[in-house]
Amino acid sequence: MQIDCDIHPFVPNTAALFPYMPEHWREMSVVRGIDDLHSASYPDNTPLTARADWRPASGRPATTAETIARECLDPFGSSIAICNPLYGVQTLFSEDLAYAYVRALNDWTRAQFLDPEPRLRASIVVSLDNIEMAVAEIERCAPDQRSVQILLLVGTAHPLGRRQYWPIYEAAVKHSLPVALHAGTDFRNAPTALGWPSYYLEDYFANAQAFQYQLTSFFAEGVFNKFPTLKLVLLESGWTWVPPLVWRITKYWAGLRMEVPWTDRSPAEIVRDQVRFSLQPVDGPTDPDQIRRLIDHLGSDQLLLFSTDYPHAQFEGMEMFPAGFDESLRAIIRRDAPLATYTRLAGAAA
């Protein structure tokens, strides 16, 4: 059994979502010319957004369940895959317009992917400008057991550990849904803490800094202490930066614990207990000995979750494990760690 924890169905255009939208918002979109909300986090034609062999002759990749089954589920042999739609609905400033699109996106994913393809599951997409509406959307989607987690973008207006976001984590725990942060931003802040860089390469790289800031925020604000059963999943985050970040937080936690007296476990313990990372992209060395040392630095064999990041281009061919991962660890990453993270998949595994 293998669970692919990060694949991306693509929305062709806003018209594809219109059937899932009340008449008022459909008309509003047509009148105002809201044709597309594709996020600048993944511009269509960059080599990263779609691997060459998964890029259709025209239009966007991964727009149908059949395509995903043929290009991803069948060849990689995954029994389950989790759809994380990255259409830029979170960037809309009007809360009402945003939630018309958020709801339509979640319903589109269910109708177009989960219904026709029993191997697919989905994350619940929410926008963060209105937390009450986010919680309402989680409540609306959670009864469908094929909704297996809550999806946020890593780039946000405020660090996600802050208490204004805690109702989302409360809802997550209530429904046994992990909270995932995926690469990408709602553009409420510049891509880097030094402003807007010149190149897309820098935009994409800046996700790595955002993941580090967010993990630090979750730790410092005490989210893991308040919600000890919450699972935080970082998707398309890379993972070789994790040990050095944990060591640095530990350094300052030792000196500044007076600021965060609620932190009841060390950063390393908290990551082992409650934080998981998708396998791709592997931001690591090619030397298998170094890979083995890095896995040792992570301090647990339960932290990595199998992912292809389909149709993004992160690896060539079929091999997404670099040398250095032994067979028993690969089995944990493919099956055991995802099942332990996504309790809603337990039925599917039986």
Partner 1 sequence: MSTEKLTGIADCDIHPTVRTMAELEPWLSRQWIEHFRTYGALRNTQYVSGAPYHKSQPNASRRDAYPPEGGPQGSSLAFLRTQLLDQHSIGFGILNPLVQAQGVRNLAHSAALCRALNHWQAETWVANEPRLRASIVVPYEDPEASAEEIRHWAGNAAFVQVLLLSRTSFPTGNKRYWPIFGAAVEAGLPVGIHAFGNSGWPVSNVGWPSFYLEEMVGHAQTSQSGLVSLVVEGVFERWPALKVVLIESGFTWAPSLMWRLDHAFRTLRSEVPHLKLLPSEYVRRNVWWTSQPLDEPENKRYLADMFNWLGWDKIMFSSDYPHWDFDDPARVIAFPASDEDRRKFFIGNARHVYGA
Write out the E strands in the chain. 3-7, 80-83, 120-125, 147-155, 179-185, 232-235, 275-278, 304-305
Selected binder of partner 1 within 48, 173, 329, 349 (CB under 8 A): 48
Give the nearer residue to partner 1 in terms of CB position, either 70 or 158. 158
The reply to whether 131 sits near partner 1 by the rule CB under 8 A is no
Segment contacting partner 1 (CB under 8 A): 54-62, 116-124, 172-180, 275-283? 275-283
CB of 275 to partner 1, least distance (A): 15
# residues near partner 1 by CB under 8 A: 75
The reply to whether 201 sits near partner 1 by the rule CB under 8 A is yes
In the numeric block, which tokens belong to residue 330?
């690969």
The reply to whether 209 sits near partner 1 by the rule CB under 8 A is yes
In the numeric block, which tokens belong to residue 255?
């000196």
CA distance 114 to 110: 5
Selected binder of partner 1 within 279, 313, 320, 333 (CB under 8 A): 313
Give the nearer residue to partner 1 in terms of CB position, either 18 or 187. 187
The reply to whether 130 sits near partner 1 by the rule CB under 8 A is no
CA distance 220 to 161: 8
Count of H-run helices and E-run strands, the chain? 14, 8
Cα distances (Å, whole numbers) of residue 249 to 52, 166, 243, 276, 296 = 39, 22, 10, 17, 19
CA distance 9 to 17: 13
ω before 261 within 30° of 0 (cis)? Answer: no
CB of 330 to partner 1, least distance (A): 20
Selected binder of partner 1 within 86, 122, 282, 345 (CB under 8 A): 282
CB of 282 to partner 1, least distance (A): 7
The reply to whether 281 sits near partner 1 by the rule CB under 8 A is yes
Bridge partners of 122? 83, 147
Angle between helices 267-274 and 242-256 (to 10 degrees): 130
The reply to whether 39 sits near partner 1 by the rule CB under 8 A is no
The reply to whether 44 sits near partner 1 by the rule CB under 8 A is no
CA distance 115 to 118: 7
Return the SS3 of 271. helix
CB of 281 to partner 1, least distance (A): 6
The reply to whether 265 sits near partner 1 by the rule CB under 8 A is no
Segment contacting partner 1 (CB under 8 A): 138-146, 254-262, 302-310, 341-349? 254-262
Segment contacting partner 1 (CB under 8 A): 34-42, 63-71, 90-98, 153-161? 153-161
Q: What is the DSSP string of 50-76?
A: S-GGG--SSS-SS-SHHHHIIIIIHHH
CA distance 6 to 310: 7
Please list, residue by residue across 265-298, b when 16 or more beta carbons sit within 10 angstroms of its beta carbon and e when fewer do.
eebbebbbebbbbbbbbbeeeeeeeebeebbeeb
Selected binder of partner 1 within 40, 111, 256, 346 (CB under 8 A): 256
The reply to whether 195 sits near partner 1 by the rule CB under 8 A is yes
Give the nearer residue to partner 1 in terms of CB position, either 298 or 348. 298
Give the nearer residue to partner 1 in terms of CB position, either 132 or 199. 199
The reply to whether 174 sits near partner 1 by the rule CB under 8 A is no
The reply to whether 261 sits near partner 1 by the rule CB under 8 A is no
Q: Are 280 and 319 in contact (CB under 8 A)?
A: no
Which residues inside 210-249 make contact with partner 1, applying CB under 8 A?
Answer: 210, 212-214, 216-217, 220-221, 238, 240-241, 243-249
CB of 335 to partner 1, least distance (A): 26
